[in-house]
Chains A and B, each alone.
Chain A
Amino acid sequence: MPRSWRLRASASGISLLTFSGPAVRAARRRPNRWRSAPTHRRREGWVALAFVAPFLIIFLAYTLLPAVYSLFFSFTDITARDMRNPLNVDVVGLENFANVMTRRDFGQAALNTLIFVILGAGGTITAGLGLALALDALLGRLKTMLRAAFYLPVITNVVAAAMIWQYALAPRGTLDRMLRNLGLESVSWLDSQPWATLAVTALGIWRNMGTAMVIFLAGLQSVPEDVQEAAALDGAGPARRFVSVTLPLLIPTILLVSVLMSTSFMQIFEEVYLLTGGAPVGTTTSLSVWIFQQFGFGNTAVAFTGSFILLALATVINLVQFRLLRSRT
């Protein structure tokens, strides 16, 4: 490999090869009159705009404008009945935000969501890293087959998956029958705590661990083989090599997966909606489900307000994680 090719570990842990030889550096310094011509820059600008236009249009129509619309109406008393005359509402300032943040059910949903984030993101990272390490040690066709098998939950229809989970965890369901056959007490998996929270979290982990596994597998490729070999020559066993070599080099990847999974579990909806519906006594109702319920009750402004509080919470959590990510890389 020529010296000018450098191996770099990106924030995602994926190796990048960049060319940085002297000729290239000289070319970068050389002024290019033709390229700096304003007409050319304008043309380049239009071409660039044409490329991003499809995304921009969809983003504007389905994300930015609805977000601005809902942010505006979160300061009003709009309800479902006002939707046919949306300007026929009163502006109430920050009243909705004050009301929502003091509501018992919103507080319960926020706490539930925090538990899902901690358990779910932690569990997904552990499961994804464990699978990646196990697969990384394998070779050949078995590795490919297992990688595909563990990734399957990511592309499986969540409704179908949740139905199967529900059938297995329901009273007198598969798991319950197995326990009874073993002479054990049956457990109300979906209707008692802590089992309901654990069941919802487990479904979330099952859905996401394939994504985490793929990212960790890519991250493991950036761990230099020679460092591992040097550690082995120095007498470090597999556990010591993992703790002292692999894990420190994987920290950027772990933080990236942590950001992705925290965001995913902050918005957890399908798992709750399909598996427990929020039971028992609202202890599995997530913020997304709460917002959905408010929308169903016709409390449009309250639902909008809840959405922006969720966005703010997710932003804070992500900012903290990004700060950690930056300091460790």
Chain B
Amino acid sequence: MHSAKRHSVPAVSRALPLLALSTAAIVLLAGCGRADTPNETGGPVSDGPATGTLNIWAGSGEGDVLQAFADTFEVENPDVSVEITVVPQDDMDINLQAAITAGTTPDLTFLYTEGMQSWLATDAFLPVPDGLIDDTIFFPATVENGSIDGTLYTIPWYASTYTLLYRKDIAAAAGVEAPTTWDEYVPFLEALKEQGVDFPTIASTRWNSFTADELRIIVASNGCSLLSDDQAEWALNSDCVVDAAAFWGELFAAELVSTDGPAFLDQAAAFADGALGAYIIGPFAVSWIREASSGEFIEESLGATLVPAGSAGSVSRLSGASWAVFADGQNPDAAWKFAQFMTDVDRQVELYEAFGSPPAIVAAWDEPALDTPELAVQAEQLQSLVLAPQVASWNEVANVIGQQMERVARGLATAQEAMDAAQLEAESIGFGD
């Protein structure tokens, strides 16, 4: 039988690719090693109008109303062209991560309060240039949340907090007042349930970071923290945190909250329908409820009050967004000018009117457009806030907390077991320094 001659490859030739790879690996390995790299500076910003193309990535929602502001900015700065890319909220994080990794970032984006510290830890953003803004005009928590080691990296855009919205008509029919403490909260929800409300309240079990935010509100109102007293380590299984998790879990056990509650975008409609009795939510919900109901409904049925108080009083969490300029962007000068442009009081009021997001500038809250009972409660709650732990790994640890809290909600673990497991994982994650 004839067999074709096989061309043998010399051993040296076969070894060459391996040799090349090994050499490349050794060169790379030799080049590796951590060294301190100075942060880039954020300024100065040039005088005169903005020029060139300004690329902005905006999460959907606020991003949908941003074009009107960009149009005004272009009128005031005729030589600039603003390109806005609206990114679906759920995909924003991964898009930002990919852009930072590949070095293909836009010039400007806005970061949400909750994950801001984790994003700033990527070193992908420039510090705010000296003298660009007066940071004392903003709510102090917004400035603190956008700073690392005293250096401000973001320009606050809007700020709000979570308060308790409830059906005051159903509460009146049940003969109960809005709860002022967590102890009053349970009988209040039970009274709503007796009135035939399907979901006396809601709690997040699908969005882990939201679940963690709910926990830290209860923890803070009980006068403790998710971090140890010296802020040096996680303290997720301290007695205080476990008590807070147990309280949250008992709401599920008592069937005052359901893991099958309305999804985020359905909550306003459920509230207007009377299927949902009360929930702790941001000010945007008021405009959603308004869309899902009539004007009279808001007058007669919507009640707003502070988050129930624990031993340390009523505490809520900061919500909102701030502008951040990318270090790898092509036009930081125009980016800073646009961020500065958005801090004008009139524009912050316009944003509230367009999207329901209240201003980050304290003085803007005196404007007539913001004179509503719900915002009066917001303004009071904004005086008593807890920030997310100011560590780079918060997003990841919040995910762990959310997963473990879900086990509590479903009766798969006690609060102690869940928080012990969360602590173990958080310790292995560390602070992400």
Contacts and interface: CB of A to CB of B under 8 A. Distances in A.
A88 B33 contact: yes
Given A84-B103, A171-B260, A280-B410, A79 B94 contact: no
B412 A281 contact: yes
Contact of A191 (B93, B259, B428): B259
A281 B327 contact: no
Given A188-B260, A277-B206, A83 B103 contact: yes
B263 A81 contact: no
Interface string B217-260: 00000000000000000000000000000000000000000011
A298 B412 contact: no
A107 interface: no
Interface in B374-433: 392-393, 395-396, 399, 403, 406-407, 410, 412, 421, 425, 428, 432
Contact of A281 (B25, B122, B399, B406): B406
Looking at A88, A89, A171, A281, the one whose CB has the most chain B CB atoms below 10 A away is A281
A81 B33 contact: no
Interface string A158-189: 00000000000011000000000000000010
Interface string A292-304: 1101111110000
Contacts of B124: 81, 84
B94 A89 contact: no
Interface residues of A, number: 36
A299 B407 CA distance: 25
Interface string B101-122: 1110000000000000010011
A29 B2 contact: yes
Interface in B1-60: 2, 21, 25, 28-29, 31-35, 37
Given A295-B97, A298-B122, A85 B37 contact: yes
B123 interface: yes
B395 A89 contact: no
Contacts of A295: 94, 97
Contact of B34 (A72, A88, A170): A88
Interface in A259-281: 277, 279-281
A281 B396 CA distance: 15
B328 interface: yes
Interface string B190-227: 00000000000000011000000000000000000000
A8 to B, nearest CB: 19
A28 B1 CA distance: 12
A90 interface: yes
Contacts, number: 97
Contacts of A105: 403, 425
A40 B212 CA distance: 70
Contacts of A191: 205-206, 259-260
A293 B399 contact: yes
A4 B346 CA distance: 87
A191 B262 CA distance: 13
A224 interface: no
A76 B32 contact: yes
Contacts of A68: 21
A50 interface: no
Given A104-B425, A292-B94, A89 B32 contact: yes
Most buried by B among A170, A281, A297: A297
Interface residues of B, number: 45
A296 B93 contact: yes
Nearest to B93: A296
A297 B259 contact: no
A80 interface: yes
Given A281-B403, A281-B410, A299-B396, A80 B101 contact: yes
A28 B2 CA distance: 9
B251 to A, nearest CB: 17
Contacts of A300: 101
Given A282-B403, A297-B396, A80 B94 contact: no
A80 B97 contact: yes
B28 A87 contact: yes
A191 B263 CA distance: 12
Contacts of A277: 206
Contacts of B328: 84
B419 to A, nearest CB: 15
A177 to B, nearest CB: 14
Nearest to A170: B263
A88 B101 CA distance: 14
A316 interface: no
Interface in A275-329: 277, 279-282, 292-293, 295-300
B339 interface: no
In the A-B complex, list the 10 residue pairs whose CB atoms are closest, starting with the nearest. A297-B396, A81-B122, A87-B31, A171-B260, A83-B101, A281-B406, A81-B123, A80-B122, A188-B260, A296-B94
Given A72-B28, A81-B121, 18 more contacts: A80-B100, A80-B101, A81-B123, A85-B37, A88-B32, A88-B33, A88-B37, A89-B33, A91-B29, A91-B32, A171-B262, A171-B263, A280-B406, A281-B403, A281-B407, A295-B97, A297-B399, A298-B395
16 contacts: A81-B123, A87-B32, A87-B33, A88-B37, A89-B32, A89-B34, A91-B32, A99-B428, A104-B425, A105-B425, A171-B263, A188-B260, A281-B410, A296-B395, A297-B393, A298-B97
